[in-house]
Amino acid sequence: MDIKITRTQNPMAKPLAEEEAGTLGFGNYFSDHMFVMNYSLDKGWHDAEIKPLEDLRFHPAAMGLHYGQEIFEGMKAYRTKDDRMLLFRPYENAKRWNNSCDRMCMPPMDEEMFVEAIRKIVDFDRDWAPHAEGTSLVLRPAMVATTANLGVHPSDEYVFFIITSPSGAYYPEGIDPVSIYVEDEYIRAAMGGTGFAKTGGNYAGSLKAAKLAEEKGFTQVLWLDGIEKKYVEEVGSMNMMFVIDGTIITAPLDGTILPGVTRSSVMQLAKDKGWNVEERKLSIDEICKAYDEGRLDEAFGTGTAAVVSPVGKLQYKDKEMIINDFKTGPKAKELYDSLLSIQIGDAEDPYGWVVEV
Ligand code: COI
């Protein structure tokens, strides 16, 4: 790929004090440069550039702004102790990217090209990757429809860009357990919809329920299926796993949940530890019953941003369930450690998941 490179003349201050203080948070700071590339029906992908981070310019009729033709990915680059930069299963993100493209009628991208663009921007701004434990350089590839037209149909032009953000833990709780509200009014996705695609509309539609849950003191909502409001699906920023009688149970990929890269990695790690893993429909009633009978051992979410996040409390209607005394459970802890140590290059990677930049 031919990339035009323009280095910033005004490097920004890095959030070193925040890194030191452990207050980086998630997605609050951005590195000096971004990768940008355009697409048009006649030229295909063209004009790849790494340039100083700046505002993107759109015509106010840009279709992405009106009809939400937009997709993104969630990835991270990890700094190893010997200062190498590692990506985690970037080809899985490239595949999911293209599945999102297909659902949203957007132009796909060659997987190699996608990963190459990621590598280039991470390498260019590698000094922005934080060093502290539990931090990473969050990568946000995104694509927006830019044709100026008010008709509802796929755009002819798109802008693809990657920005990077030195970040810490996603949740304010850090790696401590979060409280989750089981949403029984609003829904996130239905069969045949866009639930499996990483498109902004899925997140926009989740804000109202999340806001109401936050007002009640919860960090996130757990979505139930869109038809019966009976089966657990995902939490908008992570897939969910429940440990009942020692077995890890997670919702199947039936088109309504995001096929998480961390989800599949954690399932693999758990199976290789000899633990039972079931991918199946799990009703909220089954969870409540297991809780009442003392068989709900743990609940945790998995996601690139969330890594492995324990859930300490679930609220379903009037029923409050405090899980594992609101402490991180042993399976969540072990999976977190196993996963992260591969991601940051501390442990052997027998799976070939890690790709050096
Ligand atoms: C990620 O896990 O990286 C995501 O993209 C989730 C996000 C909405 C914070």
CATH classification at residue 118: 3.30.470.10
Pair (18, 125) in one structural domain: yes
Please state, rounded to an integer, the average pLDDT across all residues of the chain. 96
- CA-proximal residue: ligand 1, atom 6 (nearest): 237
CB 275 within 8 A of CB 331: yes
Which one of 145, 167, 189 terminates a domain? 167
Nearest C-alpha neighbor of 138 from the set 118, 124, 120 = 118
Q: Which CATH number characterizes residue 235's domain?
A: 3.20.10.10
- pLDDT tens readout for residues 175-200: 789 999 999 999 999 999 999 999 99
Q: Closest ligand 1 atom to the C-alpha of 304?
A: 2
Q: Closest ligand 1 atom to the C-alpha of 203?
A: 8
- Residue 184 has a pLDDT of 96
pLDDT over 90 (residue 84): yes
- CA-proximal residue: ligand 1, atom 4 (nearest): 74
Which one of 137, 167, 197 terminates a domain? 167
Report the separation in Å between the CA atom of 324 and the middle of ligand 1, taken as the mean of its atom positions: 26
Distances (CA, A) of 332 to 54, 164, 243, 307, 328: 39, 28, 9, 10, 7
Pair (332, 184) in one structural domain: yes
Pair (226, 292) in one structural domain: yes
Of 73, 188, 304, which is best to mutate to test ligand 1, by the most ligand atoms within 8 angstroms of its C-beta? Answer: 304
Report the separation in Å between the CA atom of 151 and the middle of ligand 1, taken as the mean of its atom positions: 30
Of 162, 188, 220, 237, which is best to mutate to test ligand 1, by the most ligand atoms within 8 angstroms of its C-beta? Answer: 237
- pLDDT tens readout for residues 86-137: 999 999 999 999 999 999 999 999 999 999 999 999 999 999 999 998 899 9
Q: What mean pLDDT comes out for the span 306-320? A: 95
Tally of domains in the chain: 2
The pTM of this model reads 0.95
Pair (12, 107) in one structural domain: yes
- Identify the residue with better confidence: 306 or 147: 147
Pair (157, 198) in one structural domain: no
Pair (94, 191) in one structural domain: no
pLDDT over 90 (residue 6): yes
H/E segment holding residue 223: strand 220-224
Pair (324, 221) in one structural domain: yes
Pair (199, 159) in one structural domain: no
Identify whether 350 is part of a domain: no
Report the separation in Å between the CA atom of 138 and the middle of ligand 1, taken as the mean of its atom positions: 9
- CA-proximal residue: ligand 1, atom 5 (nearest): 74
- pLDDT tens readout for residues 210-236: 999 999 999 999 999 999 999 999 998
Pair (216, 326) in one structural domain: yes
Identify whether 357 is part of a domain: no
What stretches of 2-134 show up as alpha helix (H) in DSSP? 16-21, 63-67, 90-103, 111-124
Of 170, 199, 263, which is best to mutate to test ligand 1, by the most ligand atoms within 8 angstroms of its C-beta? Answer: 170
Q: Which residues line ligand 1 (CB under 6 A)?
A: 74, 237, 303-305
pLDDT over 80 (residue 276): yes
Q: Closest ligand 1 atom to the C-alpha of 198?
A: 5
Pair (35, 157) in one structural domain: yes
Which one of 108, 136, 167 terminates a domain? 167
Report the separation in Å between the CA atom of 235 and the middle of ligand 1, taken as the mean of its atom positions: 11
Q: Which domain holds residue 64?
A: 4-167
